[in-house]
Amino acid sequence: MTTQTLPNAPDLRKGFPRSPNESLGHYVLLPRIIDKCRATVAGTAGEYKFNCPLDRQFFDFTGVDADAFKTEVANGKSDQELVAWVEKNAKVKTPEEIRSWSYEQRWRRPGAEMAHHFEEMRETIAPDNYRIETWFQLLDADEKRF
């Protein structure tokens, strides 16, 4: 895979992407996806994967093609330019639908099939924090945000 220099690419080998709770254009996950994509393009993603199942939640909801998004990131677009590009290329969504989707994502808990895996991860990441109940909370705990 070829890498390129992106001045705004984070080095995720040394730090974390933005929290999944952060939003741009009312879309949660988008700032995190941008960070992971920039780092992927720059070759500094470390263990982070762009277009992982969590990212797919965003791409499936918006209908935005992940490869097309990556091309826009590689072209050096700013956060605000990327939001505008997403808004232009997303399936038509009202602000209410976007906010509702974002709310659901923030409070998404593991389903029955993932409950055991989630609990094992929680016990490893934050063994004394039984208040971690959502995927976003688990990620934030793993990345030392609380």
Whole-number pLDDT of residue 81: 97
Q: Helix/strand/coil (H, E, C) string of 78-110?
A: CHHHHHHHHHHHCCCCCHHHHHHHHHHHHCCCC
pLDDT in the model for residue 1: 55
C-alpha–C-alpha distance, residues 141 and 130, integer Å: 12
pLDDT of residue 7: 79
Q: CA nearest 73: which of 85, 55, 61?
A: 85
Phi, psi angles (nearest 5°) of residue 24: -135, 135
Beta bridge partners of 53: none
Q: What's the pLDDT at 6?
A: 84
**Segment (H or E) for 17:** none
Q: What is the pLDDT of residue 23?
A: 97
Question: What's the pTM?
Answer: 0.94
Q: Could you list the mean pLDDT of each consecutive 10-residue stretch along the chain, which spans 146 residues?
A: 81 97 96 98 97 97 98 96 97 92 97 95 94 96 92
CB atoms within 10 A of CB 20: 28
Domain ranges of the chain: 9-106, 109-146
Return the pLDDT at 120.
Answer: 96
Token pair 């974390």: residue: 16
- Tokens 């409950």: give the residue: 115
